[in-house]
Amino acid sequence: MIFAANFKSNHSRASFKEYAGILGDFWSEFDKKDDEIIIFPPFSAFCGCALKDKKISLGAQNFYPANNGAFTGEICADMLSEFGINSVLVGHSERRALGEDDEFVRAKFEFAKAKLWRVVLCVGEDDIVHMNGNTCEFLESQLEGIDLAYEKLIIAYEPIWAIGTGKSAKPEIIAEILEFLSLKTKAPLLYGGSVNASNIAMITQIPHCAGVLVGSASWQVQSFIDLIKASKA
């Protein structure tokens, strides 16, 4: 099971160092078997800790698809390599809302693929697409041009209408979408969208679900630990 945590714009170096220490102590005693954690902290927190457990890794929430250059305000591959970052989040709805269209998402994916990075590709529909029953067609358009056979690809289904609302999609909806995606790729499939300790056990039992992408429920370390524990209940 993959537990991916998107901190968004939360945590400083100091707070993440404390977080990582507590999480590391818990994880060292946890019966994790094939489980792993991927944490996507803010860029500024990369050097805030040393994660010793190989089953806890850091990823970048965003990057510009270049090694370096005249890209004011952007983080490029050379900066990520300094911290040993080789996992990236691509296509998150909050990035798309800022103007990252499918073409740019594909460019980021291709760059990451060339670097042999692990890519967590986010796909998901808004409430209008959902209500019109066009979700599968919409997701197919988001996947167009993506190498779905890339061996380091992970796909996270995040219905925009569920993110941050406290209400995850119904199990039958998640099952339907993950089934659809499983026919397109053999990549691990995650669900994200108001995942918490109350619903994670249900979500992780859905066929084809290989894990979760967690937002606000991961920002406090005890909340994230409780969520991981609840997944095994």
| Sign of the CA dihedral with 80 first, then 81, 83, and 87 last | positive
Q: What is the dihedral of CA 154, 80, 216, 110, to 10 degrees?
A: -30
DSSP string, 198-231: TTHHHHHTSTTEEEEEESGGGSSHHHHHHHHHHT
Residues 11, 92, 94, 130: which is the catalytic one?
A: 92
Residues 94, 100, 125, 158: which is the catalytic one?
A: 158
Specify the DSSP class assigned to residue 161: G
* Of 6, 4, 214, nearest in space to 95 by CA: 6
> How far is 103 from 112, CA to CA, in rounded Å?
14
DSSP string, 165-207: TS-PPPHHHHHHHHHHHHTT--S-EEE-SS--TTTHHHHHTST
**How far, rounded to the nearest angstrom, does the alpha carbon of residue 90 sit from its chain's CA centroid?**
8
Q: What is the CA radius of gyration of the chain?
A: 17
Residue 163 tokens, joined: 């993110």
92 is catalytic: yes
> How far is 108 from 119, CA to CA, in rounded Å?
10
Contact 61, 82 (CB under 8 A): no
11 is catalytic: no
Q: Annotated active-site positions, please?
A: 92, 158
